[in-house]
Every structure is written in C-alpha cells, then in structure tokens.
Amino acid sequence: MTRSLTKSNSHFQKAVKRLPLGVSSNFRYWGEDKTIYVKSAKGARVTDIDDNEYIDYRLAYGPCILGYADSRVDAAARAGMEQGGVFALSTERELAVAERIASMVPAAELVRFSNSGTEAVMAALRVARAYTGKDSYVVVEGGYHGVFDAALWYTPIEEWRPGRGDPHLVPYSAGVPGVLRALLHAVPMNDADRLESVFKAYSHEIAAFLIEPIMGNCCSISATKEYLRDARALCDKYGILLIIDEVKTGFRVGRGGVQELFGVKADLCTFAKAMGNGYPISVCCGREDIMRKFGNGVVHGGTFTCHSIALSAAQKTLEILAETPALATIADYGTKLRAGMSQILAQRGIKHSFSGHPSMSGLFFSEKPPRDYRDWASSDYTFYEALAPHLHDLGVLCEPDSREPWFVCEAHDERCLGETLNRFETAVDRVVRSAPRPASAPFTKYTT
C-alpha cells in the first residue's frame, strides 16, 4: 500500500499562494510534497483529501481524548450553539464546569477560563508575577508552553555536546524580543540540585517554576516523582510558585492529571486540550489567594472566552472523563500498543524503550528513555525519523518528529490496535531493509 498525495500536493500549490506555508499553523507544514489536507475525521481515524485513511496517534496534538466527532460531545456542543455564543456576559454553566474541574483537580480552588493553552499559561505567569511581585521564571529544557513571547525560547540541543557547559537558550522565533532572555532561567529535568542552585542565586527575582512533568512536546520525557516532590519543596522553601502546565497531560494521564499521578499539588496549573475534546477552551486555575488577584489588579479576559459551544463541549467531555472508565480504557490501549510494538522490535533485536504515560507515549530506540533533553541529544532518533514516513504511507499517523508522543483516545479500538501493529511491523522491516540510515539532523518542526 503506497499512498498518493496528488490532491494534497496540488492543493498545497494553491494554498501556499494565499496562506504562509500553505497552512494555518507552522506545525502543520510537513514539506511541499508531504503536507496533508484533511477531508474528515471520525473516532481515531482521519481521512485526507486523497481518501487516504490513517489511524491517528497525533490526535490534533492531544485534544481528541474521546475521538474525533464524538457524538456525545458534539450533541452538547450543538445545544451550546443554541444558547447564543458569546455575550460579553457570563453564564451559569461556567460555575458548573469550574465545580467539575475543582472536583477532579484538588489544586483548582479557583478557575479562570480561556480559549487556548497559550492563553492559560500566559494568565498563570502573569498572576504568578503579580502575586509574588517578581518577574523572572524558570523553565525546563525541552519544554514547550505555547506561542507567546515569554515561552518561545528553546535549547537547540542538536548543537550541544556533553561537557560543553549548559546548552544555550535561544528564541524559538524571529520577532521574539531578545530582552526577554534576561527574565528566563532554564534547568535540565530531574536535577534537583541544579534547580536549588538557580533558586538560591535568583529567588529574589524568580516568580515561578513552570514545568510540564511529562513533557508532551519532548518525547514525554518525564520528571521522577522524587524530582517533582523536591521541586514542590524547593518552591516552598524559596518563595517561588509552582506552575504545572497540564495542557497536554490534564484530563488525560488521570482524572486529576499529572498532579494526581505524581501526588503533587501545584500553586497554579493550566489545562486545555483534552478538556473540550477538541473544542477551544482552556483554564488557568489554582490556589485561592493567588487566583483572587484576577480582578484585583491582574487583568484577564477575552471576547471569545467561554463561548457557549466550547463550554458545553467541555462540560460533556469532563462529565464523561469523570464518570466513565474512558481514561482507563485509553491507558489500557496504550499499554497494549507498547507491548505489541515492543514484541515486534524485540523480535528483530532492536533496542527500544517508552517514556511518559501509556496515553501519551514517547518511543525511543535506546535501552532506557532519556532522563532529560540533554540525554535525548545522544539517543538515536534517526530510526524513528526513518520509520515515521513508512507509517504514514501505511496509514498510521504519528508525528514525523520523534519529540511528539503517540496519543491515544477512547475511540482507538481492538481493530485499530491490530491494524497499527501489522503496519508497524511492515514499517520496521522496511527501515531495517533500507539501512544504513544517514546520520541526519532531526526533523525540524517548522516553528519559524
């Protein structure tokens, strides 16, 4: 089975004349002959305009927790549409959804809604700065927190080698003001001593430690429980707020997110993707004394915040996640997927490991998953990058960049599993047959 992308390719040539890169998000551009345009999606499957069908493990970068076009959520969204949209006024439903979130996430004493993960993290950072009266913040190398200037910094790890000191921190995008660098500290994951040394030296200026404990944009490289608990204690010791970014992990790795999984409570936390099964909604939530700063000196708002369609969709999605075994079903599928892949790879003597949570697995071609982004630099990602295009050709959609985990939704069923594993086996054999692979630079996410 080899795909034709004739229609997508020809649409790209037209689209690129009006839309930069022919798309509406840089991350959706995969090259002029590989960019896919979607016709429709249902459950765990996406169909492109050439009628190629894919079992999808990208799931729109995570939000489709139940599956595309879930009839329960879509019915709620339609009912939400009847309410009228946005009013520059509030509705009763906001409280109902906030109560639901608070019941699932103990840290969510108070809740503020937004439309996207980016907006939620921006709000968290702003309120943390206002509360502490400090401006700097600490992030983890390899982390991603959205498309706002304060978060668009990254470590070009491909250029770094052990023993050369700390990797640089550079803007992810042209147009990000260089002056913002002075506010930012980056630390490697899982090094509590290093975190403490930064806190000790700069606690007078650091408002927050912003961490995504399972890095959903970095192969699901994970904090250990001990590290996150140490980080919690260090934040308390040095008067720094702990912001846990659950935009990808929230309502996915557990009903109470990564905080439930790790037994750690944030001061502030952010949720987006899974909470609306793909409808645009997010929250910044946290400790009451901090959150009361909203409306008491801290500005937060937005015309489209709590659109009645997205809010109704979130209400239904959260109800399903809280009251049905959906998340257990998802984790079980992820565990079986890992086991099946493992068997195929082990039979061929290919070293591999998984990181993160079964609902969002990072796949590595090394015996152990990396502990941090520096470790990742010395792992062999060329096998993954050779594998991904074969999987696409065979109708399994994963990100071409090995740094994006494989997401699972409730609609991934036994049939998906069997088909995925068959195709995975074929793809692995194709890569093995085509060895040796060039030592290439990793796939570049088109983040400008």
Q: Which residues are part of the catalytic machinery? A: 144, 245, 273
The reply to whether 121 sits near ligand PMP by the rule CB under 6 A is yes
Please choose, out of 14-22, 116-124, 219-227, 416-424, the segment that lies near ligand PMP by the rule CB under 6 A: 116-124
Q: Measure the CA–CA gap between 82 and 330, rounded to whole angstroms.
A: 32
Q: Measure the CA–CA gap between 331 and 149, rounded to whole angstroms.
A: 34
Buried b (16+ CB within 10 A) or exposed e, 80-117: beeeeebeeeebebbeebbebbeebbebbebbbbbbbb
For residues 60 and 27, is the Cβ–Cβ distance under 8 A?
Answer: no
Q: What share of the chain is helix, strand, coil (3-state, %, to 5)?
A: 40, 15, 40
The reply to whether 203 sits near ligand PMP by the rule CB under 6 A is no
Find the binding residues for ligand PMP in span 269-288 (CB under 6 A). Answer: 272
Residue 27 — left, alpha, or beta (φ > 0 → left; ψ -120 to 50 → alpha)?
A: alpha
Whichever of 63 and 395 has its CB closer to ligand PMP, that residue is: 63
CB neighbours of residue 328 within 10 Å: 12
Please choose, out of 141-149, 251-259, 382-390, 400-408, the segment that lies near ligand PMP by the rule CB under 6 A: 141-149
Closest CA to 315 of 46, 36, 77: 77
Please choose, out of 112-120, 288-296, 341-349, 439-447, the segment that lies near ligand PMP by the rule CB under 6 A: 112-120
Out of 114, 118, 379, 420, name the contact with ligand PMP by CB under 6 A: 118
Whichever of 285 and 341 has its CB closer to ligand PMP, that residue is: 285
Residue nearest to ligand PMP (CB): 117
CB neighbours of 134 closer than 8 A, spacing ≥ 6? 204, 205, 206, 207
The reply to whether 217 sits near ligand PMP by the rule CB under 6 A is yes
Find the binding residues for ligand PMP in span 356-375 (CB under 6 A). Answer: none
Out of 43, 142, 188, 216, name the contact with ligand PMP by CB under 6 A: 216
Give the number of residues in contact with ligand PMP, rule: CB under 6 A. Answer: 16
Residue 237 Cβ vs ligand PMP, minimum distance, rounded to whole Å? 26
Q: Measure the CA–CA gap between 242 and 235, rounded to whole angstroms.
A: 6
Residue 121 Cβ vs ligand PMP, minimum distance, rounded to whole Å? 5
Out of 248, 252, 307, 403, name the contact with ligand PMP by CB under 6 A: 248
Q: What DSSP line would sit under 128-187, residue for residue?
A: HHHHHT--EEEEETT----SSTTT-EE--GGG--TTS-SPP-EESSTTS-GGGGGGEEEE
Please choose, out of 11-19, 138-146, 218-226, 378-386, the segment that lies near ligand PMP by the rule CB under 6 A: 138-146
Q: Measure the CA–CA gap between 161 and 30, rounded to whole angstroms.
A: 28
Whichever of 334 and 395 has its CB closer to ligand PMP, that residue is: 334
Task: Name the residue type at position 157.
Answer: I
Closest CA to 59 of 408, 433, 441, 432: 408
Whichever of 212 and 375 has its CB closer to ligand PMP, that residue is: 212
The reply to whether 142 sits near ligand PMP by the rule CB under 6 A is no
The reply to whether 144 sits near ligand PMP by the rule CB under 6 A is yes
Out of 29, 61, 154, 160, name the contact with ligand PMP by CB under 6 A: 61
The reply to whether 67 sits near ligand PMP by the rule CB under 6 A is no
Q: What DSSP line would sit under 82-112, residue for residue?
A: HHTS--SS--THHHHHHHHHHHH-TT-SEEE
The reply to whether 247 sits near ligand PMP by the rule CB under 6 A is yes
- Footprint on this chain of ligand PMP (rule: CB under 6 A): 61, 116-118, 121, 144-147, 212, 216-217, 245, 247-248, 272
